[in-house]
Chain A
Amino acid sequence: MRRWTEMLCRGATRLLAGGAAALIVGGIAHAQLAPPPGPTAEAIKKRGMLNCGIDTGVPGFAAQDASGKWKGIDIDYCRALAAAVLGDPEKIKYVPTTAAARFTVLQSGEIDVLIRDSTLTFTRSTVLGLDQVAVNFYAGQGFLVKKSLGVSKAADLQGATICTVTGATLELNIADFARSTGAKIDTLLFDKAEEAIAAMEAGRCDGYTDDSGSLAGMRSTLKVPGDWMVLPDLISKEPLGIHIRSGDARWNKIVFWLDTALKSAEEFGVTQANADQLKTTSKDPFVLRLLGVEGDFGKALGLDNDWALKAIKVSGNYGEMYDRYFGPKALDLPRGLNNLYNKGGMHYTLPLR
């Protein structure tokens, strides 16, 4: 009798363990072999709602204002996309994602697109099976240092102690940079940016390092911002942009050309305010194609021909978005690489023809 129960017990345990293993293996296999979900744009139209993955909070990219409304350049992109596809910028479900979960949430189909200040990298493209559609913000790791230190570029930071937050990349970049320039740079690590900044103000280190997008915001929170400066050079490349699931070429094209349309609009001087007017007055064929007056550009994407016009009318062209959140009246970050190619920046758009 005793032996029977024991055997039963052991059998049950084995069965359970086997079942769990099968579940895990099956789950992982499923994750890799799952056929791509049906055309994303169709699903969005059927749902009447764009599921947009965003950050849980980064100044300038995505943050809630006092009434709880999401604001930021990534949010403006979501809104423009919803306007282009659904014709209504309000038909969005924002899904705030943490750094750990963002790509899983995208892979599982919970969101249609991830616009979350995420760096486009080789591994994310290949190993994670994601499509990296466009860069909407060129960032890089920069330094915020005391002016009294008397340095003008990152390479001069010999023997300095830099405060930063834990997380392999920031530290790793400093180590790589120090090794390549032969400089000796110490780091002091903190869990939260606020702590690191407080330590820096208390004199425990000479500067702070983070993505250039965050640095400007951080500088504005200091007690005497004038005592500190952001060094002009960046020690890493962080092209932040838009991710989608691999396997839906049509959705990829929609998102890609939306990004292009927003940047082209700035290039051709089409703004939120004058878009409707230019539709009738403009003679520029590129503008006419962009605004859907000539050609069937929207139809080719499976959208209405005035798709770009709708998007631009929501929150303006790329330059207007940038100014709203990073311009002199906001976080005051010089456009630098984020300018158009003909103004010394990196945003070079493919022609609309």
Chain B
Amino acid sequence: MQAIGRVPVLGALFGTRLNAVISLAMLALMAWLLPPLFRWAFADAVWEAANRAACQAAGTGACWAFIRARFALFFYGLYPEPERWRADVGLLLLAVIGAGALLARRHKGWWLLALITVAPVGGGILLAGGVFGLKPIPTPQWGGLLLNVVISFVALAGAMPLGVALAFGRRSQFPVVRMLSIAMIEFWRGVPLLTVLFMGLVLLPLFLPGGVTVDNLVRALIVMTLFTAAYMAETIRGGLQGVAKGQSEAAEALGMHPMQVQVLVVLPQALRLSIPGIINIAVDLFKDTTLVSIVGLFDLMGVVTQSMKDPAWLGLAAEGYTFAAVVFFLACLVISMGGSLLERRYGQASRR
């Protein structure tokens, strides 16, 4: 027993009798569950087959051939094949500017400005087309993971300024502004996202004059943006409350205009305090984008569900959902890692 106690990991797992029993039970559970899972996912899996019947004939494990056959569909949806490079370039643009904003040592402000101007405008032009000789691609053809990324980015980029405005509005000394901000925040926090999405889909067409239709994607974008903005506002308000009062008092004593005090002194500190909360919202938002599949948009989840209805590949729910889970996990991991990087870099000031 003493020899075990000296190795820290073993000590933690088998140090006491109770711990030893729990650890052994857990190991037994893993030994029972993992091998079949491994056999299903890897050892007995089929990677190449023309349809489900061929898949089943070839092996008893997962039919990953299904995922391979529809790989492009999962990422681009119905975005026409010769134009898919535009989605790639758009994503690359976003990645480069995002990485720049995260990692650049100088001109951080410019990178951030590019992130909220160049990325959405450039990305939008690339994806939608219609100018500079780019073939216009109507939004119903956007789909797959591309759609999840577009919705999350637009909603987040729109929710950021709106959230800041609402957070300040809620702290405003003017009752009308305060009331409107509170009403706005409470309304959007109080209704389930799914309900609003459905309302946008079912109720909106009834209000609009006959023949006028609003793009389905635009509806979803507006709803997601407002919804995220309400949460963002509360997170940022938390950050604003965390900034010591002495900061604004000192700034005022230096003769700064109240506006300058808020924008140059209070807000930057508040935003820094809110980073963990904002990352939390971003991860949440990214996963929530799957809800749009319920209102007839084909995001990754929508395409996966849809693919299971193809007569050639019926009944492969396990493979489809597993794939979607892995993709979402990886994407959220990237967001989280970017977030912790952001926290470390922008948190330096407080550690000095």
Is the beta-carbon distance between B140 and A95 smaller than 8 angstroms?
yes
Q: Quick one: which of A95, A198, A330 contacts B311, CB cutoff 8 A?
A: A330
| B contact patch SS | helix
Is the beta-carbon distance between A100 and B202 smaller than 8 angstroms?
yes
Is the beta-carbon distance between B310 and A100 smaller than 8 angstroms?
no
Instruction: Give the docked Cα–Cα distance between A28 and B73 (Å).
Output: 39
> What 0/1 pattern do residues 163 to 204 of B give for CB contact below 8 A with A?
000000000000110010000000000000000001001110
Q: Quick one: which of A66, A101, A104, A194 contacts B315, CB cutoff 8 A?
A: A194
* Interface residue B210 (Cβ < 8 Å from any Cβ of A): yes
Instruction: Give the docked Cα–Cα distance between A12 and B176 (Å).
Output: 9
- Which chain A positions have C-beta within 8 A of B310? 59, 63-66, 71
CB contact list, B57-82 vs A, under 8 A: 69-70, 73, 77-78
Q: How far is the CB of A65 from chain B (nearest CB, A)?
A: 6
Instruction: Give the docked Cα–Cα distance between A60 and B314 (Å).
Output: 11
Do A101 and B307 contact each other (CB < 8 Å), given the known contacts A30-B207, A108-B206, A220-B314? no
Is the beta-carbon distance between B295 and A9 smaller than 8 angstroms?
no
Is the beta-carbon distance between A57 and B315 smaller than 8 angstroms?
no
Instruction: Give the docked Cα–Cα distance between A129 and B282 (Å).
Output: 43
Q: Quick one: which of A27, A94, A97, A221 contacts B314, CB cutoff 8 A?
A: A221
Chain A: CB-nearest residue to B68: A66
* Interface residue B2 (Cβ < 8 Å from any Cβ of A): no
Q: Quick one: which of B73, B295, B311 contacts A217, CB cutoff 8 A?
A: B311
Is the beta-carbon distance between A59 and B314 smaller than 8 angstroms?
yes
Q: How far is the CB of A15 from chain B (nearest CB, A)?
A: 12
Q: Quick one: which of B73, B202, B211 contacts A68, CB cutoff 8 A?
A: B73
Q: Quick one: which of B77, B198, B315 contacts A100, CB cutoff 8 A?
A: B198
Is the beta-carbon distance between B73 and A5 smaller than 8 angstroms?
no
Q: Quick one: which of A101, A110, A330 contacts B213, CB cutoff 8 A?
A: A110
* Interface residue A107 (Cβ < 8 Å from any Cβ of B): yes
Is the beta-carbon distance between A5 and B175 smaller than 8 angstroms?
yes
CB contact list, A109-153 vs B, under 8 A: 109-110
> What 0/1 pattern do residues 74 to 111 of A give for CB contact below 8 A with B?
00000000000000000001111110110011011110
> What 0/1 pattern do residues 1 to 41 of A give for CB contact below 8 A with B?
00001101100110000000001001110110011010000
Is the beta-carbon distance between B308 and A101 smaller than 8 angstroms?
no
Instruction: Give the docked Cα–Cα distance between A98 and B201 (Å).
Output: 10
- Which chain B positions have C-beta within 8 A of A229? none
- Which chain A positions have C-beta within 8 A of B123? none
Is the beta-carbon distance between B73 and A8 smaller than 8 angstroms?
no
Instruction: Give the docked Cα–Cα distance between A65 and B51 (Å).
Output: 11
Is the beta-carbon distance between B309 and A63 smaller than 8 angstroms?
yes
- Which chain A positions have C-beta within 8 A of B314? 59, 217-218, 220-221
* Interface residue A170 (Cβ < 8 Å from any Cβ of B): no
Chain A: CB-nearest residue to B307: A64
| A contact patch SS | mixed
CB contact list, B203-239 vs A, under 8 A: 203, 205-211, 213
* Interface residue B134 (Cβ < 8 Å from any Cβ of A): no
Instruction: Give the docked Cα–Cα distance between A110 and B103 (Å).
Output: 46
* Interface residue B294 (Cβ < 8 Å from any Cβ of A): yes
> What 0/1 pattern do residues 256 to 288 of B give for CB contact below 8 A with A?
000000000000000000000000000000000
* Interface residue A251 (Cβ < 8 Å from any Cβ of B): no
- Which chain B positions have C-beta within 8 A of A221? 52, 314-315
* Interface residue A58 (Cβ < 8 Å from any Cβ of B): yes
Is the beta-carbon distance between A56 and B210 smaller than 8 angstroms?
no
> What 0/1 pattern do residues 195 to 226 of A give for CB contact below 8 A with B?
00110000000000000000001101110000
* Interface residue B153 (Cβ < 8 Å from any Cβ of A): no
- Which chain B positions have C-beta within 8 A of A6? 175
Q: How far is the CB of B303 from chain A (nearest CB, A)?
A: 8
* Interface residue A331 (Cβ < 8 Å from any Cβ of B): yes
* Interface residue B305 (Cβ < 8 Å from any Cβ of A): yes
Q: How far is the CB of A264 from chain B (nearest CB, A)?
A: 27
Q: Quick one: which of A5, A23, A331 contacts B207, CB cutoff 8 A?
A: A23
Chain A: CB-nearest residue to B69: A66
Number of interface residues of A (CB under 8 A): 53
Q: How far is the CB of B323 from chain A (nearest CB, A)?
A: 14
* Interface residue A325 (Cβ < 8 Å from any Cβ of B): yes
Is the beta-carbon distance between A105 and B207 smaller than 8 angstroms?
no
Is the beta-carbon distance between A9 and B296 smaller than 8 angstroms?
no
- Which chain A positions have C-beta within 8 A of B138? 93
* Interface residue B104 (Cβ < 8 Å from any Cβ of A): no
> What 0/1 pattern do residues 291 to 316 of B give for CB contact below 8 A with A?
00011101000100111111110110
> What 0/1 pattern do residues 207 to 250 of A give for CB contact below 8 A with B?
00000000001101110000000000000000000000000000
* Interface residue B95 (Cβ < 8 Å from any Cβ of A): no
Instruction: Give the docked Cα–Cα distance between A65 and B73 (Å).
Output: 10
Is the beta-carbon distance between B206 and A27 smaller than 8 angstroms?
yes
Instruction: Give the docked Cα–Cα distance between A59 and B179 (Å).
Output: 51
Instruction: Give the docked Cα–Cα distance between A31 and B202 (Å).
Output: 12
Is the beta-carbon distance between B296 and A56 smaller than 8 angstroms?
yes
- Which chain B positions have C-beta within 8 A of A197? 315
Give 24 CB contacts A-B under 8 Å: A6-B175, A8-B176, A9-B176, A12-B176, A13-B179, A26-B207, A37-B211, A57-B309, A60-B311, A63-B311, A66-B70, A66-B312, A68-B73, A71-B310, A93-B140, A96-B296, A101-B201, A108-B205, A109-B210, A110-B213, A217-B314, A220-B314, A221-B52, A330-B311
Closest 7 CB pairs of A and B: A221-B315, A108-B205, A57-B309, A194-B317, A27-B207, A57-B306, A63-B309
Q: A96-B298, A105-B205 are in contact. List 4 more A-B contacts (CB 8 A).
A: A5-B175, A56-B296, A64-B307, A218-B315
